């Protein structure tokens, strides 16, 4: 079964950049989608970005144009590039894997209930 380990978090100033990595012990193509979630202090967990096994990508409106999700097939790793970071981006970022019937609407990959494997999280702190 797929196991996920996140890395790459840290402390950056507003406007800075980070690249988060999610290394999978199993093939990322054995699941339908890989997603990045985050949970800030006193906030609910929220979806940040998704990449499906077919290569489709999605990003939340709050990060669109600043964050980019991608994958390296050879390394079996999913990345989240964080650019133009803001203080409100401060959160623990989690990588997760989703499994669902591919015949379902594309929006299915945006449903948290579809994600059944989660990493331990990596802290991103944006502060001046």
Per residue in 79-102, pLDDT tens?
A: 999 999 999 999 999 999 999 988
Each residue of 24-72: pLDDT tens digit? 998 888 899 999 999 999 999 999 999 999 999 999 999 999 999 999 9
Cα 58 from Cα 50, distance rounded (Å): 5
pLDDT band at 115 (very low <50, low <70, confident <90, very high): very high
If you ran DSSP here, which 8-state letter would residue 25 be given? S
pLDDT reported for residue 1: 77
């Amino acid at each position: 079964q797929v196991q996920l380990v996140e890395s790459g978090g840290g402390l950056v100033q507003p406007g800075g950049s980070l690249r988060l990595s999610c290394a999978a012990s199993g093939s990322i193509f054995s699941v339908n989608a890989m997603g990045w979630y985050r949970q800030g202090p006193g906030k609910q967990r929220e979806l940040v970005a998704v990449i499906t096994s077919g290569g489709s990508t999605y990003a939340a409106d709050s990060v669109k144009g600043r964050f980019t999700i991608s994958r390296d097939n050879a390394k079996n790793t999913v990345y989240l590039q964080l650019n133009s970071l803001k203080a409100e981006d401060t959160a623990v970022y989690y990588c997760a894997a989703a499994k669902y019937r591919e015949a379902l609407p594309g929006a299915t990959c945006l449903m948290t209930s579809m994600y059944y494997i989660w990493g331990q999280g990596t802290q991103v702190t944006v502060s001046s």
